[in-house]
Amino acid sequence: MLVDRLTVLEKEVEKGISEDGLEGLWRFTHQLSGSLGSFGLDRGALTAREANNLLQAALKGRPLDSARLSRLLRVLRQWIYDHQLGQGPDSWFQGSLLVLSQDEELFSSLEMEGILLHWQVAHCREQEELIAGLGTSTGVILDCGSSSFDESVLNELVESPLSLVLIDPLESLRLRAGERVKVLRRPVEPYLVILAALKGTSATPEDVKTVLIVDDDPLVLKVVSTVLSSIDMHVECLEEPLEFWESMDKFRPDVLILDVDLPPLGGIELCRALRNDDRHGPTLVLFLSSYNDGETVQRAFAAGADDYLFKPVTAPELITRVRNRLERARRLREAGARGSSE
């Protein structure tokens, strides 16, 4: 089964993989990209191709970005699993972003990062395509260095509630766009471009999710808080576990992020107690820990965890996993509401 095979490969990459293993994984992802494409799973094929490119570079002597490779394999596994469950591709995405650019390489990298972050990224080569898609998009990325567009288009975008990111704009365009618009200069990191676009999305107060992070490491609190705040989540940090229940009552978070080591209470013990609490039992719980052994992970899930992430975690992976859990919880609520009304 493909999902099981990808799970095994993901663990092998995390532990460290030999050169022979790299070559075998390269052949596997090469075949997978072709087979997924033939079944119409274009974005799955793109993910497999990205993993294959990383492996090919490593076989040529470049350092392997094992963290990104693991993330690609994880997303690929989830993509195939959702397909097997009969979930359409639209269920994967939180929303859509439009990119106006003639730079094919830039768009491809943005599309890949969009997949990892559960956002659909659509390519517009002409401004007419952009205008046609505005009604169903959440944000727009304008590559000013490779695209020309009528100034009236910029006026329309600035006045709209859409998130807007400009890459390499002329100073006159930057000034006309105003402070609300994000401006980036080349060279740009693709995932930072996507994050900039997501940060500008216009969420209503009811849509803003609250996250409570419990960790005795101030650096972890700062990093995780910065990442999740960048996508308009309301984040509260707690360094003292003894204040846990007080913080739960005060903030009533949608998502709780726990470390395993939280003396004197312990994150797994807190999770177990939470699940037995009538007020906060349904709260989504994600563990973020340096423990990556199977026994600890199994104990966390047995205590009621919804997900488990390993330190150090990358910004795209953290955002993807949090968004994914929130979206799944939303679907379950909607399914339950439909069932009770029938």
Query: pTM for the full model?
Result: 0.57
Amino acid at 27: R
Q: What is 93-199's CATH topology?
A: Rossmann fold (3.40.50)
Q: What angle do CA 206, 253, 280 make, to 5 degrees?
A: 120
Q: What is the pLDDT of residue 294?
A: 86
Tokens representing 331?
């679907």
CA distances from 260 to 26, 129, 211, 247, 264 (A): 35, 49, 17, 18, 11
212 three-state secondary structure = strand
- The residue that leads in pLDDT, 338 or 276, is 276
pLDDT at 204 over 60: no
**C-alpha to C-alpha distance for 336 and 330, rounded to whole angstroms:** 10
Average pLDDT of span 39-68: 85
Query: Percent of the chain scored above 70 by pLDDT?
Result: 89
- pLDDT tens for 56-105 read 999 998 888 877 888 788 888 877 877 776 766 566 677 789 999 999 99
Q: Which residues of 15-39 are buried (b: 16+ CB within 10 A; e: fewer)?
A: eebeeeebeebbebbbebbeebeee
**Superfamily (CATH H level) for 205-341:** Response regulator (3.40.50.2300)
**C-alpha to C-alpha distance for 251 and 167, rounded to whole angstroms:** 37
pLDDT at 207 over 70: no
pLDDT at 115 over 60: yes
| Lowest-pLDDT choice from 6-10, 124-128, 255-259 | 6-10
pLDDT at 203 over 70: no
Average pLDDT of the chain to the nearest whole number: 83
